[in-house]
Amino acid sequence: MNPDSLQRDLDLATQLLRTARKVAVLTGAGISAESGLATFRGAGGLWEGQRVEDVATPRAFARDPSLVWRFYNLRRANLATVKPNPGHYALVQIEDRLGDGFTLITQNVDGLHRSAGSRNVLEIHGSLRRVRCVGCGVVSDRGVESLPDLPHCVACGKMLRPDVVWFEEDLPDLVWHRACKAAGECDCFLVIGTSAVDYPAAGLIDLARMQTADVIEINIQPSAASSHATITLLGPSGTILPELIKRL
């Protein structure tokens, strides 16, 4: 994109954000890329060498829970080494301006939005930091502490699993309901660092659009969301978001 048109689009996006009373944001793995976490799809993707169906489905866990846990424990250990980046912090500043009119919906399971200080965060795909018992259903926050290759519940003795949403699983009801409400009620919907191919999360973009919200996309390359966006700002979110904040 040429620098003049980026400046023009940044100005337009600033206008839309300034006049919006309610803003909802959908983030994906791209916002954490500049913190050093791999994205899911494309070069260097998280699943490289490890097929997604081998690790992130209920069937995979039933077949080989140790393999699945090894994979998730590696990612949990990695979390201890990463920090939020300027993109995460810029979203905290937008929330500070809008207060209750701001909702951050994230597909990410890394917890970096909360670490940055975002408050109204809906983690629609769960969290790497939490575990859930397959027997009694108890959920506990284990942070980034190291867990055995096959952890068990202290209450009932059954296996624990990561509290994330695998393929073919439903999203958590209450959190999903809140995400739909926020997308359906906002004037401005920001879509940041997601390929927007994963449903039902990507459906939130259509939902916002149907309710006549303006959609501002931030991504280093066009995505499945681009044809639905009022504006696509091409560039890394760790640079583009602070630029937007400067103009607000």
Binding residues (CB under 5 A) for Zn ion: these are 133, 135-136, 153, 155-156
Q: Comparing C-alpha atoms, which of 158, 152, 151 is closest to residue 136?
A: 158
Nearest CB to ligand BJW, comparing residues 60 and 101 = 60
16 binds, among Zn ion, ligand BJW, none (CB under 5 to 8 A by kind): none
Out of 125, 152, 177, 228, the active site residue is: 125
For residue 164, the minimal CB distance to ligand BJW (Å) is 4
Nearest CB to Zn ion, comparing residues 17 and 133 = 133
For residue 56, the minimal CB distance to Zn ion (Å) is 22
Strand segments, DSSP code E, in the chain are 23-27, 102-106, 121-123, 126-133, 139-141, 160-164, 188-192, 214-219, 231-234
Q: Is 121 left (phi over 0), alpha (psi -120 to 50) or beta?
A: beta
CA dist 91 and 36 (Å) reads 18
CA dist 75 and 36 (Å) reads 12
Check if 125 is active-site: yes
For residue 165, the minimal CB distance to ligand BJW (Å) is 4
Strand-strand pairing, 139-141 and 126-133: antiparallel
Q: Which residues bind ligand BJW (CB under 6 A)?
A: 28-30, 33-34, 39-41, 56, 107, 109, 125, 164-165, 167-170, 193-195, 197-200, 218-221, 223, 236-237
For residue 21, the minimal CB distance to ligand BJW (Å) is 26
The DSSP secondary-structure symbol of 228 reads G
Q: Point out the residues that are catalytic.
A: 125
